[in-house]
Amino acid sequence: MSIIEHIILFSLLFGVYAFWGKYNASKSGAAYWRAALVPILLYVLITGSRWGWGGDYFWYWAQFENPEFIRDQMAFKWLNQSLNYIGLNYVGTFMVYALIFIVCAFVFIHSFGAHSTYMYCFLLPATLIFTTTFIRQGVGTAFIFLALVFHQNKNWIYMGIAAIIAYYIHSATIITLFVLLGSYFVVKKPIHYAISIPLYLFFTFVYNPSYTAYLSGFLENLSLGGKLQAYIDTSEYWFGEDAMKSIYVPGKFALFFSSLFYVAVCYLGYQALKIRNDKRIVYIFNVVVAGNIICYAVNLFEILNRMNQSLQMFYFVPVGYIFYVYFKDCQQRENYRAFRLKLQFLVGIALIIAELVRDWGRFILLNKRADFFWYHIDDYIDVSEYFNYFN
């Protein structure tokens, strides 16, 4: 493995996404997709070439090589069977997973029109760890993006088809869609920062995460058509006190900066939507805020953390919108109120950037998992040990 290659490749990837939207978001049709080829192909080649990231990497390698062992999630099974049939190996398969996600993400972001200008900049930091760690869930989330686009355009049949595909890739993705649509139909206004920030501070600094373990008793009464039965049967393992994972406990320094980030998103997101209301963004902002509030209440529990991350990762939409509103609407200085609002946006944006630079600078420069498949071409990897997941 080479940390130098990792630094160069991911610096290039993040650099392209940081500036691409500013010059290309306003394009449409073929011109848009011609310009999008560069960031899309970079994402596919770089993230698809990673090796061994996340606890699920070898599990999904095993599923690709033995798709007959996949007993449900039929769309994912058919996808793997098709990739096997055309002769792709595991590297090509991970590239296809990446291609599906990033193309659908671009379709989703492009649907916001001019408001999408800065969303591309935050797509990677919001989604990269989720999609490369929870691989099948990431592929399923791609079709949730499509379902939301069809929902915005009132194409109900296509929305239903996209939702069904997402469900049969990873059934948990349908929970993400239900929460987002529930927010759209039930909560019409952005959550006020006077509510969200105190709740966030309570759950982050006062609430004892061990109380969340009581979910294990509640889950014993659920089935959800058997889709979560394996988790229910072992609810104490997934949700009980023994499931609390110290690896998810942030250090004091990281907690300080991440808290400033979440507070800034809650405050500036509300202000941005107050200045320039967009109902396509309001419901996503509310879901992200809710995810931020309960983040540290559930992040010690593997399954709850996964579910919450699938909601939190949509922050690239409201954060990108914050930047758009700042550059579009907060440049005037006619009076004290306008000047104060601009100053608030500047401070909040500085906090957002500081946290992303801290977190992702560490990922790029100090990643101990920096590894690529070309260092393992001659390695023999026995993935048969992962078959117990299928039996």
Closest by alpha carbon to 285, among 115, 43, 142? 115
Residue 247 has a pLDDT of 42
Residue 82 pLDDT more than 60?
Answer: yes
Please give the pLDDT value at position 234. 41
Angle at 247 between CA 245 and CA 253, to 5 degrees: 130
> For residue 321, what pLDDT is reported?
97
Q: What is the mean pLDDT of the chain?
A: 85
Q: Quick: pLDDT tens for 199-254.
A: 999 988 888 777 666 654 455 454 444 444 444 444 343 334 443 344 445 667 78
CA distance 267 to 197: 8
Structure tokens at 277: 């209301």
At what angle are helices 119-133 and 336-365 packed, to 10 degrees? 40
Maximum CA pair distance of the chain? 68
How far is it, in rounded angstroms, from Cα 378 to Cα 372?
13
CA atoms of 8 and 49, how far apart (whole Å): 14
67 falls in which pLDDT band (50, 70, 90)?
confident
Mean local confidence (pLDDT), 150-158: 95
pLDDT of 308-334, one tens digit each? 889 999 999 999 999 999 998 876 656
Please tell me the number of Cα atoms within 13 Å of 75 on its side-chain side. 17
pLDDT at site 305? 78
pLDDT band at 150 (very low <50, low <70, confident <90, very high): very high
Phi-psi region of 22 (alpha: psi -120 to 50; beta: other; left: phi over 0): alpha
Report the C-alpha dihedral over residues 19, 21, 22, 25, rounded to 10 degrees. Answer: 160
List % helix, strand, coil for the chain (3-state, nearest 5).
Answer: 80, 0, 20
Q: Is the pLDDT of residue 296 over 70?
A: yes
Torsion angle defined by CA atoms of residues 176, 319, 269 and 25, in that order, rounded to the nearest 10 degrees: -100
Summarize the confidence of residues 385-389 as an average pLDDT.
61
Distance CA 333, CA 27 (A): 31
